[in-house]
Amino acid sequence: MAKNLFVGYNERDTFLHHLSGSTKLIGFVSLSIIGMLTFDTRFLLGIFVFSMILFWKSEIKFSEISFILKVIIGFAVFNIFLVYVFSPGYGISIYGSHHMIFGNPKQFFNLSWEELLYLFNLILKYTFAVPLALIFLLTTEPSEFAASLNKVGVSYRISYSVEITLRYIPDIQRDYRTISLAQQARGYEISKKASLIKRARGAIQIILPLIFTSLDRIETVSQAMSLRRFGRHNKRTWYMARKFKMADYMAFLLILLIVIIGILLFKVNNGRFWNPFK
């Protein structure tokens, strides 16, 4: 069976798929904000475990997101490396102490347990948010996603634009693969066996037709929306909008509890940072 190369919504029978899109949107935004604000390692580990459990329950297959995960992991590793290179002593300045692994605080390049803890917190900030974002995007039908955005106050014009974008992503992936196979059949080698220059030339041969195809599709969609007088009224109804059910209210309570714990930890820690070196 061919590997699924298209990232998008897949309908499955899980409780996350049955939750309202508004619930998942509010949960994702709330947990992301409180997680990005805090540097309490205990709290970050807790919401990381929580997000991984939700990801497991969502039944999203690794093959569906492998490329996205590789890009995110690569970006995270590169970012952590740059943070250390440009400020290897930042952890010492944050926690007000130094327990050296090698070097000393007066040297520019050194490594302390305080710096390792700070970098570990940064890694947790990247990792806990990724499963939540993937859950939200891959378990929410695009039309319901747009209705959810409009329900929380976003203009329906912007909401509808987001919906079209989400629906168009699998089409772009499909067109890219089709054009790629056609170019390879004509003799353009763009596999890993080819040199970097040949692969770059082959990519250009794919991107240009993809751009023109996309522009034609955008023109068709915009004309169809204009003919249906889209945007004339200030409000609109949504066929895919869902009312809140008991499961949504329970999810709201759980999200609120996590956010309250995160806020209380600010007071317990006298700030954003949990300092185990005191």
User: Over the stretch 6-54, which tens digit does the pLDDT of each residue have?
Assistant: 556 777 878 888 888 788 888 888 999 999 999 999 999 999 999 999 8
- Between residues 101 and 152, which one has the greater pLDDT? 101
Contacts of 191 (CB under 8 A, 6+ apart): 184, 199
Assess whether 23 and 46 both reside in one domain: yes
- Report the pLDDT value the prediction gives residue 3, as an integer from 0 to 100: 45
In a shared domain, residues 88 and 205: no
Q: What is the count of structural domains for the chain?
A: 2
Q: What is the mean pLDDT of the chain?
A: 80
Kindly state whether residues 97 and 202 are assigned to the same domain.
no
Domain residues for 203? Answer: 142-239
Prediction pTM value: 0.73
Two tokens at 14? 């899980």
Residues 184 and 275 both lie in one domain = no
Query: According to the model, what pLDDT value does residue 8 have?
Result: 65
pLDDT attached to residue 2: 41
Whether the predicted pLDDT of 5 surpasses 60: no
Say if residue 235 is in the same domain as residue 247.
no
Q: pLDDT over 70 for what percent of the chain?
A: 87
pLDDT digits (tens, 9 = 90+) for 156-204: 777 777 777 777 777 777 777 777 777 777 766 666 666 667 667 777 7
Q: What is the mean pLDDT of residues 240-254?
A: 85
d(CA 232, CA 234): 7
167 and 272 together in one domain = no
Q: Do 75 and 169 fall within a single domain?
A: no
What is residue 194's predicted lDDT score, i.e. its pLDDT? 64
69 and 152 share a domain?
no
Does residue 200 sit in the same domain as residue 261? no
What amino acid occupies position 153?
G
